Amino acid sequence: MKRIVLFTLLFTALGLFAQTKDWAQFGRYESQNKSLTTRPDVVFIGNSITDCWADTVPAFFTDNNFVGRGISGQVSSQMLVRFQEDVINLHPKIVVICCGTNDIAQNNGYISLEHILMNIKSMCELARANKIKPIVCSALPAKGFKWRPELKPANDIIRLNEMIKAYANENKIPYVDYHSALKDEENGLPRKYSKDGVHPNAQGYAAMESVILPILKKYL
């Protein structure tokens, strides 16, 4: 009897934790969103690659009236859930969508490439419905993840990027090909651009800026 009661209390506690956890992390940018006094030209939504960009090269954002809304570890499903809060409600002219790495790394469990693309499509459709121009990006090259060493992601990343590009071309959405600009001969992210093979350093972000800025200037 005591064991049943203990198990009941345990599952109740776990259920309450799941209910109170901010899975999409709406709270991450809540205060920054409220404090914005001007409409940003561009919102960058993504994972740690976008998150660290704003920390590593803050001038790229402040000098251009861009805002970064990346959250480390996030998958495309989480970005889709917070898209209203962190993109639409800010009324930007453009949203830059960059995701896929953490989906392929299975940070939130397995998800097919087709379903990753569906999440990207949904974000694009939400943007267009709110008169925001979507721009989609390739996932960056990576031949391994230190937090998931059993995975070999290079080919899955290439396949996902092919699917994103095809969708973009079919729907007249600009496509930003970071992968081709940054990859090495093994379809990984070389040491000159990254210490861990996944997250860019300052030189890596400079290479990314050189790819995306001409596209942004075309539409701003």
> Rounded CA gap, 89 and 91, in Å?
6
**φ/ψ bin of 134: left (φ > 0), alpha (ψ from -120 to 50), beta (otherwise):** beta
Alpha-carbon distance 27 to 40, whole Å? 20
DSSP-derived pairing of the beta strands 133-137 and 94-98: parallel
The tokens 């081709």 sit on which residue?
180
Q: Residue 14 has what pLDDT?
A: 38
pLDDT value, residue 28: 97
- Tell me the per-residue pLDDT of 20-70, one tens digit each, with 9 for 90 and over: 589 999 999 999 999 999 999 999 999 999 999 999 999 999 999 999 999
Q: Which residues of 56-67 are buried (b: 16+ CB within 10 A; e: fewer)?
A: ebeebbeebebb
pLDDT at 198 over 50: yes
Residue 3 has pLDDT above 90, yes or no: no
Range 42-219 classified under CATH 3.40.50.1110: yes
pLDDT over 80 (residue 12) = no
pLDDT of residue 21: 87
Q: Give SS3 for 190.
A: coil
Q: How does DSSP classify residue 140?
A: P
pLDDT tens-place string over residues 110-150: 999 999 999 999 999 999 999 999 999 999 999 999 999 99
Q: Does residue 1 have a pLDDT over 80?
A: no
Count Cα neighbours of 167 within 13 Å in the Cβ-side half-sphere.
Answer: 24
Alpha-carbon span 24 to 43, nearest angstrom: 17
Taking the model in full, what pTM does it have? 0.90
Alpha-carbon distance values, 61 to 43, 142, 207 (Å): 9, 25, 15
